[in-house]
């Protein structure tokens, strides 16, 4: 897949293009989606206890888990080692509102996505392009956000995988 090169107005940081997908397009996100569907059974979402890290070992470096907090904020419960290494910081334990305080535009987009997963009680898939850490080059990404529910009624955790890759040259 070649990423869309439509340039967003502004600087060489942040997202260039993002689209919501009906289904995942990468093998990586598709595998996690199949795992999530198998674990949920006839429920809208699996419980956190249903997710076994040993069963999704190859995904762990790119996974993150987000606690849904009362009042509308989110706390990063777990952030995979590949994501920590690529960003140079570990946001585990931080609130979304703290993590993106200096970039309210980024915070608001992330919050909107998390809110959508919680409200819809279904997975949300996105792909697009992002300038990575202020570099002059961009990376393509695909992300899957999956609700988890300990009470069978409300999404209380979001399980997500962020798959970053280099764009294919035309």
Check whether 51 has a pLDDT greater than 60.
yes
Percentage of the chain exceeding pLDDT 90: 63
Q: Which domains does the chain have, with CATH numbers?
A: 20-165 (3.30.450.20)
Q: Which residues pair with 75 in a beta bridge?
A: 67, 95
Structure tokens at 106: 């980024």
Check whether 81 has a pLDDT greater than 70.
yes
Query: Rounded to two decimals, what is the model's pTM?
Result: 0.86
Neighbours of 112 (CB within 10 A): 9
Burial class of 39 by CB neighbour count within 10 A (0 to 12, 13 to 18, 19+): buried
Check whether 97 has a pLDDT greater than 60.
yes
């Amino acid at each position: 897949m070649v990423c869309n090169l439509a340039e967003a107005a502004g600087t060489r940081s942040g997202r260039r293009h993002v689209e919501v997908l009906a289904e995942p397009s990468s093998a990586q996100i598709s595998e996690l989606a199949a795992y999530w569907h198998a674990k949920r059974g006839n429920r809208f979402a699996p419980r956190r206890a249903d997710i076994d890290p040993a069963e999704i070992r190859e995904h762990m470096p790119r996974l993150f888990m987000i606690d849904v907090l009362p009042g509308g904020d989110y706390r990063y419960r777990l952030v995979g080692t590949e994501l920590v290494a690529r960003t140079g910081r570990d946001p585990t334990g931080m609130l979304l509102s703290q993590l993106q305080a200096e970039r309210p535009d980024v915070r608001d987009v992330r919050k909107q996505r998390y809110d959508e997963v919680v409200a819809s009680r279904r997975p949300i898939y996105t792909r697009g392009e992002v300038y990575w850490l202020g570099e002059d080059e961009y990376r393509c990404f695909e992300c899957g956000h999956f609700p988890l529910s300990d009470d069978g009624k409300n999404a209380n955790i979001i399980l997500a995988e962020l798959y970053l890759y280099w764009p294919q040259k035309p």
